[in-house]
Amino acid sequence: MKSLSHRFNHSFSSRFKRLQSGILATGLSAAVALGAITTSPNVQADALEDIESRGTIRVAVPQDFPPFGSVGTDLQPRGYDIDMAQYLADEMGVELEIIPVTSANRIPYLQTGQADLVISSLGKNPEREAAIDFSDAYAPFFLGVFSADEDESVDGPEGLADKTIGVTRGAVEDMELSEIAPDSTTVQRFEDNATTISAFLSGQVDYVATGNVVAAEIAERNSDRAPSLIYQLKDSPCYVGMNKNEPALMEEVNRLIAQGLEDGTLNEMSQRWFSADLPENFGS
């Protein structure tokens, strides 16, 4: 596919150069550019209708970002995002076609019409919002302070007083924690994620500031010391990405996300892949 389009571009540009030598160059190039835009799949009438008539939904999922998406020992993609894609396909009553992508090419796949949805641990920011549309949040992604004691909870930053918290030096969570931690909190900074995890697992620290993905990794390695969230430092949940101006598809995806939150499907997925319930403020 890639080489085909490349060849097309090549012959196109050489033909274009010949044309350019003509007198009508400006007018013609404008016409060619216009033609290119109208053949772009971006301006399809209705993506949801296309999916239904095709009977297949094509979803871009990560292949290198566990537990959202990775390749299992059976060489099949597995993870939260894959389950989410399967859930949407099942509820829509269509077949699921998985397109493994990397974080660099996930949006181009969508924009070139090779994928209907991107479910790839996609975070929202203004730059991305200018290019594509985002559904409601479907997966938790946050930084927080976690405790080895699953029954513990604190009300605010002042609840972290007198605690010793391990964190990876210079990471975003280090900055956030240093900002809000009371003076009596001891922040023990370690060189990298692996050392921070070792400090928590060996019991050298009973609290750790990290992301929920890393916390899930720790829980998987040692369920006796599964980190449980006591304070959220920064929330940046994941959204389903789709092309702009697809109100019908957007409505359908949001309806299914709301339904999944309601009936516990998403919470079940969170337990399976993050070894934790969805955070209480999720979806609000």
Partner 1 sequence: MGPTLDFLTLLPYVSELLKGFTTTVILTVVTTLTGLSLAVAVAYLRVNAQPWVRWGLGGYVEVTRNTPFIVQLFFIFFGLPGLGIKIDAITAAFIAMTLNLAAYSAEILRAGISATAKGQLEAGRALGMTTLQSYRHVVLVPAFARVYPALISQSIIVMLGSAVVSQISVFDLTYAANFIQSRNFRSFEVYLLITLVYLLLAFGMRRSFMLVGKRVFAYQQGEQR
Binding residues (CB under 8 A) for partner 1: these are: 166, 169-170, 174, 188-191, 195, 198-199, 202-204
Q: Which is nearer to partner 1, 195 or 254 (CB)?
A: 195
- Provide the β-strand partners of residue 95: 56
Q: Tell the smallest beta-carbon distance from residue 147 to partner 1 (Å).
A: 17
Q: Which is nearer to partner 1, 91 or 206 (CB)?
A: 206
Dist. CA 25–CA 34, nearest whole Å: 14
Q: Which is nearer to partner 1, 222 or 271 (CB)?
A: 222
Q: Tell the smallest beta-carbon distance from residue 201 to partner 1 (Å).
A: 9
Q: Which amino acid is at 223?
A: S
Q: Tell the smallest beta-carbon distance from residue 158 to partner 1 (Å).
A: 23
Dist. CA 34–CA 17, nearest whole Å: 17
Burial 190-221 (b: 16+ CB within 10 A, else e): beeeeebbebbbeeebbbbbbbbbbbbbbbee
- Provide the β-strand partners of residue 232: 144
> For residue 156, how many other CB atoms are within 10 A of its CB?
9
Q: Tell the smallest beta-carbon distance from residue 171 to partner 1 (Å).
A: 9
Q: Tell the smallest beta-carbon distance from residue 161 to partner 1 (Å).
A: 19
Q: Which is nearer to partner 1, 13 or 222 (CB)?
A: 222
Q: Which is nearer to partner 1, 84 or 145 (CB)?
A: 145
**Cα–Cα–Cα angle for 95, 100, 104, rounded to 5 degrees:** 135
Residues near 250 by Cβ (< 8 Å), separated by ≥ 6? 133, 135, 242
Q: Tell the smallest beta-carbon distance from residue 210 to partner 1 (Å).
A: 15
Q: Which is nearer to partner 1, 22 or 203 (CB)?
A: 203
Angle at which helix 265-274 crosses helix 212-221, to 10 degrees, equals: 60
DSSP category for residue 109 = H
Q: Which is nearer to partner 1, 138 or 190 (CB)?
A: 190
Q: Tell the smallest beta-carbon distance from residue 187 to partner 1 (Å).
A: 9
C-alpha to C-alpha distances, 239 to 150, 172, 242, nearest whole angstrom? 28, 21, 10
